Chains A and B, each alone.
Chain A
Amino acid sequence: NAGVTQTPKFQVLKTGQSMTLQCAQDMNHEYMSWYRQDPGMGLRLIHYSVGAGITDQGEVPNGYNVSRSTTEDFPLRLLSAAPSQTSVYFCASTAGTTYNEQFFGPGTRLTVL
């Protein structure tokens, strides 16, 4: 099992550019989430999904879109990058009703110039 994988590991964007952060898990988990980590602020939930075709907003959803067409994948789209979106992004998955822990991916460090 690869667990939760994220690509890319690092990315530099210019203001206004768009991009997609990829997240995949091979554990057949129902639940997936995206968080961003900023210095001094811990992790904050951006969007989450409780199954294929079902997504909802978290605490800081503005400027991001998600979709969940398969159980395995949960991409995060930045529509028009802004310097305020400079952050480390973590994807996580859990097993749903047998939930004990969230498994986190290694993170993507994004810089927006």
Chain B
Amino acid sequence: AQKVTQAQTEISVVEKEDVTLDCVYETRDTTYYLFWYKQPPSGELVFLIRRNSFDEQNEISGRYSWNFQKSTSSFNFTITASQVVDSAVYFCALSEAGYGGATNKLIFGTGTLLAVQP
């Protein structure tokens, strides 16, 4: 069975600190997809990144970076120089592979609440 674990329930940092959100997944599939979503206090879900299991390159987008390690089944998310606007709940999610790519059946972790204090 597929499973996503986000062991950090809440993290509090001071602005400009770096912070890493952990995500560990379980799957028997050799092809799968991993995602990160952000849910700000307003409640909407904002897509951040998708990564397939064959692409282990780290990704950087501005202050955000992702570290995918198949050997440890982890897909961690780092925010560099955090800002108050980064305060949100962050979800990691896993999808099995379907025809042509990921499916629309996401397995979500329980989320990590990040609070960035000014």
Contacts and interface: CB of A to CB of B under 8 A. Distances in A.
Interface of A: 31-33, 35, 40-45, 48, 50, 58-59, 88, 90, 92-94, 96-104, 106-107
Contacts of B111: 42
Chain A CB count within 10 A is highest, among B6, B43, B91, B104, for: B104
A44 B106 CA distance: 8
Contact of A42 (B47, B50, B91, B102): B91
B105 A33 contact: yes
Contact of A102 (B44, B99, B104): B104
Given A42-B110, A42-B111, A88-B43, A101 B35 contact: yes
A32 to B, nearest CB: 7
A37 B16 CA distance: 31
B100 A98 contact: yes
Nearest to B91: A42
B105 A48 contact: yes
Contact of B104 (A40, A48, A98): A48
B105 to A, nearest CB: 6
Contact of A100 (B44, B45, B50): B50
Given A50-B104, A92-B104, A107 B44 contact: yes
A11 to B, nearest CB: 15
Nearest to B44: A106
B25 interface: no
24 contacts: A31-B103, A31-B104, A33-B104, A33-B105, A33-B106, A35-B106, A40-B9, A40-B110, A42-B6, A42-B108, A42-B110, A43-B91, A43-B108, A44-B108, A45-B107, A92-B45, A92-B104, A97-B100, A99-B100, A102-B106, A104-B44, A104-B45, A106-B44, A107-B44
